Every structure is written in structure tokens, then in C-alpha cells.
Amino acid sequence: MPVNSVKHTGFGVSLSESASMNLLLKNGTCVTPSGTAVADIGIVDGRIAAIGTIGTAAAEVIDCRGLHVLPGVIDSQVHFREPGLEHKEDIATGTAAAALGGVTAVFEMPNTRPATTTAALLADKCRRAKGRAWVDMAFFVGASAENVVELATLERLPGCAGIKLFMGSSTGDLLVPDDATIAQVLANGNRRVAVHAEDERRLKERYTIVEGGADVGMHPEWRDVETALAATRRLLALAQATRRRVHVLHVTTAEELPLLAEHRTLATVEVTPQHLTLAAPECYRELDGFAQMNPPIREGRHRAALWAAVANGLVDCIGSDHAPHTRDEKNQPYPGSPSGMPGVQTLVPVLLNHVAEGRLSLERFVDLTSTGPARIFGIAGAGRIALGYPANLTVVDLKHRRMITHLAMASRCGWTPFDGLTVTGWPVMTLVRGRIVMREGALLGDPAGEAVRFLECL
């Protein structure tokens, strides 16, 4: 955009009458770094070129009166199961669910078959995404004893979201349970390491209480509070020793939160919509094995503590931990049933319902789902509505009431733990680099997602 085509207005800047735009969003209530106010957003060649009162002509004009325009939602923890487990999900169906849910970018986890542990396997995932991903993507590389000396190189490859470390066994074969290897992982590289913190030794010791068959309500007893707390305690000590930044995924216990608060210079914190919305034992009675995930849904006191951590700023972001399995798999007797729930399509409506019910401000929602992930992982040009940034936008109707249903889910697994929940607040449009990929529940155009770019890798 030529410099001389800009003029200042009361809220921001806009193009001169002589300039033209590809797309103009009119009259939306925009959440920007300057505040929340009604404004127009002009888009040129996929970037935000104007914010304010805009009278310039545009190829397409959309009236967003009554709607809120937010920085594009980023889901920094999804499992799309490709390659090797495509009967549950793949990149095409998973990113379709993301776009329909108002999500503009996703970070995909490495516990596929084979696990993403080499440059060649990362490149393979990037190739698979080209022309099939509806939203932008990045892929975590899994840490292992075999690739530990290569991690500093792997984390800087195009399309890499960073390194993922499994301290406790979950879905897939990736596991680094011992402190010596964890220390090596943390010592090799510079980018923030995402960590599944459950203590493998304790998991093995306690497996006897469910081995041979048990009620799924025993899941949080087997994978108990100490299993999470012990792993997080070990992780933070090792992060302190190696001076490596870590991101603790899906935190679930009240006991971990004070410890994490003591290590804010090194550790950032994620929670999930499931752990903020569901609680034991009710969820296990109502959903049976479909409530099973790792770490588990816990009692209400833990949910209350997580909400307090959201309110006091300790929680840095919310990720869906979208982890689909088929109904047949989830219906297997516990503990043979797999852990995980789909969630990328419901992240935005479930959290907007919390906004409607007063648990969360809209500005905090933006911080947790866009600004936070951009800050934690150093995403280039993301996390806010600002001039020159890619036009990744999530447009929502805060007053729209709708029931979440299995039938509406685009995920190949075809179900959601929130089936039957009526929510207030719904995504109505998803823009990825200025392209409308979803509008009013319909996917538009062709999938053209690109690799997320990171500041540390430019």
C-alpha cells in the first residue's frame, strides 16, 4: 500500500478515496490493540491495509453490523492423525473442522504413524497439507532419544511449530520418561518446547488399579493429581537447569498452578475447553468412555482453580487438544479404550458461551486464543488486528444461540463431547490471509492453507 494513500481517522487509519481494496468488512465491532470499537477493515492482497472509517471502493463489501471481528483464532494443539491413522482424521477433514469453527491456524502434533521425528517426515506432512489444508498449519517434531542431537536443527525447519515432548505415555509411541534424556532435549535448541507432563513411572505403578478392566470413572484415579504434579515439578527443575523455555500443555490440577506461577520466566501454561467446561464424576456418568482424555477431566475443585488461573493471568492460552477417535474405538472397555476428544470445531463456540455467561471477557478470549499463542510461539504477523498484518480474522455473532450436535461436526470421527449443548456465541466467518474460507457454516473456495511462519525461523 503506498504511503501517500493513508490518512488518519479517529479510530485508526484508512485508505484514500483513490485506492481500491479486495475486501472491505464494514461496521463490525473490532477488537484491536487500541480497544474495542466499531470500525471498517480494508484488505488488500491478503493483508490488513486500513482500519477505521473507510469510504474507499472494494471488490467485495460485507456488512458486519452486529458482529464482532476478532484476530484469527489459533489452535496450538491438534492431532489430525495423518499419516497412519486416517480412519480417525486427516489434514483435509481436520482443517475443514477448524475453518468451520472459526479457527484460522493450527499446530499439529507429532504422534502419528510414523511419528514426526525427522526432517523427511516433517517435509512429508508439509507436502500432504499443500492444497488440502483449509487453514494455515505448522507441525511439531516429536522429541526422542534417537533424534535428540538433531532437535536444534529440526526446530528451525520450514513448517515446524517447535519440539513436542511426551513425559508420559499417551496416544502413539513417543515417550521420553527419564530426566537425563529430557535434559538433553531441553539442552538442544532454543525455541519453546511444548510438553505433555505426566510422570511415566507413577503411571506404570498405578496401572494395577485399572488393569484387567475398570469403570472409566477411575481414569482420574489412575492418572491422579500426583502424576501430573510430579512431572511438572521435574520439568520445571530441568528447564531451570538448562535455561530452556517450556510450554506446559493441558494443565489440569489445582496443585500445579502455584508451582507454575513460581516459574513464569520459563514456563507458559495451556488449558483446554474440556477441562474448563466438564467435571468429574458427572462427565464420566454422562459420556462414559467419550469423556476419557489425558490428562483426565478432574473434579470440580480443579475446574474452579483453572478458571481462577484464567482470571489472574496465569493461563497463557487455550488449545483444543483435538484428538479424535472413532466411536467403535471409544466404546471399547476401559482401560483398553483410547484417550482423546475432538475439539477444534467447538473451541470457539464453547468459549464464547463462557463469555456470554460472564466467566470470560471477550478481550481475554482474544488473548487466550490469538494473542497468547502468537506471543508464546513467536508467530510472525499474528495475534492482533493491525496494519500490515495478514488478514487472518474470526468473525463471530455473540448473540447467536445454537445447539452443538454430532451431525454438524466435520471431523471424520463424527462426534463431539458437547453434543446437545446449546451455546450463545457462534463463528460466522473465517478469513485466512484475506480469503473467506468459511461463511455462515459453509466452506468456500478451495483449501489453500500455508505454513505458519515464526519469527525465530525467518
343 and 215 share one domain: yes
216 and 204 share one domain: yes
Tell me the DSSP string of 116-133. Answer: S-SHHHHHHHHHHHTTT-
Tell me the DSSP string of 409-435. Answer: --STT---TTTT-EEEEEEEEEEETTE
Q: Is residue 413 part of a domain?
A: no
118 and 242 share one domain: yes
134 and 207 share one domain: yes
Q: Do 43 and 81 meet the contact criterion of CB atoms below 8 Å apart?
A: no
307 and 191 share one domain: yes
Tell me the DSSP string of 172-202. Answer: SS----SHHHHHHHHHS-SSPEEEE---HHH
- 3-state SS class at 65: coil
Q: 37-45 — which CB contacts under 8 Å span 24+ positions?
A: 37/11, 39/11, 39/12, 40/14, 41/69, 41/385, 41/391, 41/393, 42/14, 42/15, 43/391, 43/431, 43/434, 44/1, 44/15, 44/19, 44/20, 44/434, 45/434
What is the number of structural domains in the chain? 2
Q: Is residue 403 part of a domain?
A: no
Share of the chain above pLDDT 90, in %: 93
42 and 81 share one domain: no
Q: Residue 92 CA to chain centroid, in angstroms?
A: 17
Largest CA distance in the chain: 74
231 and 368 share one domain: yes
Last-in-domain residue among 344, 377, 410: 377
pLDDT at site 20: 79
CA distance 354 to 80: 26
C-alpha grid cell, residue 291: 469423556
Q: Which residues of the chain have pLDDT under 50?
A: 1-18
77 and 35 share one domain: no
pLDDT at site 183: 97
Instruction: Give the residue numbers spanning the domain of 40.
Output: 3-70+391-398+424-447
105 and 63 share one domain: no
87 and 164 share one domain: yes
Task: Tell me which residue has cell 517447535.
Answer: 162
Q: Is residue 136 part of a domain?
A: yes
Q: Which CATH number is 124's domain given?
A: 3.20.20.140
CA distance 165 to 178: 12
| β-sheet bridge partners, residue 271 | 318
Q: Is residue 345 part of a domain?
A: yes
Q: Is residue 404 part of a domain?
A: no
26 and 146 share one domain: no
Q: Which of 75, 136, 199, 321 is catalytic?
A: 321
Q: Which CATH number is 8's domain given?
A: 2.30.40.10
Cα angle: 87, vertex 169, 224; to 5 degrees: 115
Global confidence as pTM: 0.95
Burial of residue 10, with CB atoms counted within 10 A of its CB: 0-12 exposed, 13-18 middle, 19 or more buried? exposed
Nearest Cα to Cα of residue 294 among 275, 313, 314: 275
The 10s digit of each residue's pLDDT in 258-295 is: 999 999 999 999 999 999 999 999 999 999 999 999 99
pLDDT at site 57: 86
CB atoms within 10 A of CB 379: 23
Residue 321 is a catalytic residue: yes
433 and 315 share one domain: no
CA distance 389 to 41: 12
pLDDT at site 173: 65
Q: Is residue 285 part of a domain?
A: yes
pLDDT at site 6: 37
